[in-house]
Amino acid sequence: MLSVLIGKAARGISRIRGGGGSAFPGLVVEKLDKNFLARTLRRLPRGVIVVSGTNGKTTTTKMVVELLEGQGLKVFTNRSGSNFTRGVVASILGEVSLSGKLDADIAVLELDEAHAVHFVKAVRPNYSLLLNVMRDQLDRFGEIDTTAGLLRTIAQHTTDGVTLNREDARVRAIADSLEDQEVSFFGLSQQLRSHFPSDDDLHQSGANQAADLPEAGVVLEELTDDGGTYRIGGEQVSTQLTVNGAYNTFNSAAALAVVRQALGESVDQEALIDALSRVSPAFGRGESLQVNGQPLDLVLVKNPSGFRLGLSSFSAEGVSTMIAINDNYADGRDMSWLWDVSFESLRAQGVTRVTGVRAYDMALRLKYDAVPFDAVEPDLKKALDEFIAAEPEKPKRVFCTYTAMLALRKHLSEYTEVEAFA
């Protein structure tokens, strides 16, 4: 097919020029062949799973992929992390044959909420997993009810089954708008709900606990030191996890739920749990690197809920901390949400460096919570060098927005081995 050949050439040129092959080739193919995406994905025997929501898309998508691979399936996914439609097309170009065929049984696609709406109108997914609705990039999405509407559209265009977060009132309510799709839920035990507050929960104490919640096929019952305990159907299962953080443990419940819905009775639960225990952190999300013999953890933060969970998931004791805040387009330009996060947990240990485009805004926020910091250095590279040198004997943790994370990972490759961003 001519469009595939030209697209592959554009992808190769983009990678040579340092573009990573991400979105540009997708744009080229979209212009040449408007039906390329739909035609290619419709040929997959087990169809398409779409993962969307505000927080946790990348990690949860990776989990779903590896759980399905653990069931013996060949899985196509947009590994580059470009969660726009053109990014999906570009990812396909990296794996499709010249005849336009993917060597895969099923596709699992992470999609940005707004772009997913355009995707599902072109390619109706067989299953969708909708994670949550949080205030994020308000300059792009507006209020969270708008984001909830986008997720509802995704669900309504799904053909077979929709998996919803029962703990998020806006996501849970999507079930009421569905007619033909099978609906399943994932959720939390009563004692864990206060650990994962939604934006509404923070302003309406006890609102979610008082709701009449539907039965969930997968429930995260307990957080353990190195994993979690789940109720899957009627069975209680505990496992260790390679990923870090309470938020990723809850993401794993979501991944389990959608895979069980998609595979039905054919699922091998023992293999499912084994695969889950071996899933490594997604690119830049709870990633742990070794620098000068000490761990350095990268914790992605992009909205109040994510930052709160990041802070509560890791003890600050004995750890050197840096906060890196950018406000580029991919981060969201409106950083006022930092004032909705409490930083008191950092008060005793303090913060070693504050960096990024909005370093001084972040420093002011810390001052209001009486959190001491050693220095403010807006230049990310210089700040990282100073941070690593300041307390070489201590483990390190960096809370960073998306574009700050990309820049820091690039510079960290001068210190240690860093997995390439495919």
| Burial of 30 from C-beta contacts in 10 A (0-12 / 13-18 / 19+) | middle
Rounded to the nearest 5 percent, the helix, strand and coil shares of the chain are 45, 20, 35
Which of 257, 284, 250 lies closest to 58, judged by CA? 284
Q: What's the chain's length in residues?
A: 422
Angle, helices 246-263/304-313, rounded to nearest 10 degrees: 110
For residue 107 the two structure tokens come to: 């596709």
To 5 degrees, how large is the angle CA 339–CA 374–CA 362?
A: 20
Dist CA 86 CA 304 (whole Å): 29
For residue 289 the two structure tokens come to: 């690197």
Map tokens 């999300």 to a residue.
285
The catalytic site residues sit at: 334
Identify residue 150 by its one-letter amino acid code. Answer: L
DSSP one-letter string for 324-383: E---STTT-S--GGGGGS--GGGTTT-EEEEESTTHHHHHHHHHHTT--EEEEE--HHHH
For residue 394, the tally of other CB atoms under 10 A from its CB is 15
Half-sphere exposure of 21 (CA within 13 A, CB side): 22
Which of 284, 254, 240 lies closest to 80, judged by CA? 284
Sequence-distant (≥ 6) Cβ neighbours of residue 19 within 8 angstroms: none
Cβ atoms of residues 296 and 395 within 8 Å: yes
DSSP one-letter string for 31-66: HH-TTHHHHHHHT-TT-EEEEESSSSHHHHHHHHHH
SS3 assignment, position 223:
strand
